[in-house]
């Protein structure tokens, strides 16, 4: 008796004309829910970010279904056909490679399109790397900001880094292993080396790793290492008391730089960028 038949008494038949956004595991395939398996088995078709990843789930739990590709490269082309199929009474499941569709993938686009068409959407919840990392970080989790992957364009990237440096809420980021070192250096520049942080790697997998406890320590840990695996970063927000203390230190640094020969303008510009403040905020400390 296979795993699916063991769940048959709890089987949920997908309803006609409804789109299901189905959460899938972020690493450990055993994290998939019974409800998700039933929907993936019984939907009219499954739209996948990568059909090869979805087949791994189907192979493990001994079932199959019709799969189509649905990703950032073809979503705009595929959405009209999916809407047509739903209006004809088909039930469709959307899955990403890992986690919740709609978080940093085209699931967001199709949900918006279907809402405008008056088509029902049901979410079948599952794992999410951002929440998994946040909960295991030990950092404040009641209020947080999710930024996903930072933009590549410098001006847009630095705008968000500046917001993170001044944010009182915990911030969650995604990053590729190849770009982690660059991001950590940027966080050091904008937030300072003492800012509390946790880098989570390979969540739910055999070699899951949590690295902390501040930016300086994390940079040192990953120095000269070959980094692999999916990366989630959790950054503690700044509190107002720390911000006031930080400004006292900045004022001292400003005076020291001026005494060393820098102009007030040049010293203010340097310290503003280093501490994630506006130049005028530093300038006005004197």
Cis, bond preceding 6 (omega within 30 deg of 0): no
Are 120 and 145 spatial neighbours (Cβ–Cβ below 8 Å)? no
**Which pLDDT score is estimated for 65?**
97
Residues 193 and 183: their CA atoms lie apart, in Å, by 13
> What does each of the 286 residues of the chain score in pLDDT, given as a tens digit?
455 444 444 567 788 899 999 999 999 999 999 999 999 999 999 999 999 999 999 999 999 999 999 998 998 899 999 999 999 999 999 999 999 998 877 778 899 899 889 999 999 999 999 999 999 999 999 999 999 999 999 999 989 998 998 899 999 999 999 999 999 999 998 888 889 999 999 999 999 999 998 999 999 999 989 999 999 999 999 876 665 556 767 888 888 898 898 898 888 888 888 776 778 878 877 7
Quote the distance between the C-alpha of residue 266 and its chain's center: 36
Cα-atom radius of gyration of the chain, to the nearest Å? Answer: 23
| Burial category of 123 from C-beta neighbours within 10 Å (exposed 0-12, middle 13-18, buried 19 and up) | middle
CA distances from 130 to 127, 168, 182, 194, 232 (A): 9, 18, 20, 22, 7
Query: What is the per-residue pLDDT for 271?
Result: 84
Q: Which residue ranges form the domains of the chain, and what is each CATH number?
A: 3-127 (3.40.1010.10), 130-238 (3.30.950.10), 241-283 (no CATH)
- CB burial string 75-87: b at 16+ within 10 A, e below: beebbeebbebbe
Q: Are 137 and 198 in contact (CB under 8 A)?
A: yes
Structure-token pair, residue 217: 């320590």
């Amino acid at each position: 008796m296979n795993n699916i038949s063991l769940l048959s008494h709890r089987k949920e038949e997908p309803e006609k004309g409804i789109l299901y956004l189905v959460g899938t595991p972020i690493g450990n395939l055993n994290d998939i829910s019974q409800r998700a398996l039933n929907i993936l088995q019984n939907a009219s078709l499954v739209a996948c970010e990568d059909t090869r990843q979805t087949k791994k789930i189907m192979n493990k739990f001994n079932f199959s279904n019709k799969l189509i590709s649905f990703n950032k490269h073809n979503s705009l082309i595929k959405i009209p056909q999916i809407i047509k199929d739903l209006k004809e009474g088909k039930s469709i499941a959307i899955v990403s490679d890992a986690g919740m569709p709609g978080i940093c993938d085209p699931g967001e686009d199709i949900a918006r399109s279907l809402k405008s068409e008056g088509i029902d959407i049901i979410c079948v919840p599952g794992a999410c790397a951002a929440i998994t990392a946040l909960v295991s970080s030990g950092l404040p989790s009641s209020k947080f900001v999710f930024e996903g992957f930072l933009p590549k364009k410098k001006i847009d990237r630095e705008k968000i880094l500046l917001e993170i440096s001044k944010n009182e809420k915990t911030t969650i980021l995604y990053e590729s292993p190849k770009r982690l070192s660059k991001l950590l250096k940027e966080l050091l520049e904008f937030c300072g080396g003492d800012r509390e942080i946790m880098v989570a790697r390979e969540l739910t997998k055999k070699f899951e790793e949590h690295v902390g406890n501040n930016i300086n320590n994390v940079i040192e840990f990953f120095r000269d290492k070959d980094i692999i695996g999916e990366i989630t970063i959790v950054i503690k927000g700044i509190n107002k008391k720390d911000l006031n203390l930080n400004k006292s230190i900045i004022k001292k640094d400003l005076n020291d730089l001026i005494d060393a020969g820098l102009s007030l303008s040049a010293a203010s510009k340097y310290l503003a960028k280093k501490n994630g403040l506006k130049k005028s905020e530093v300038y006005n400390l004197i």
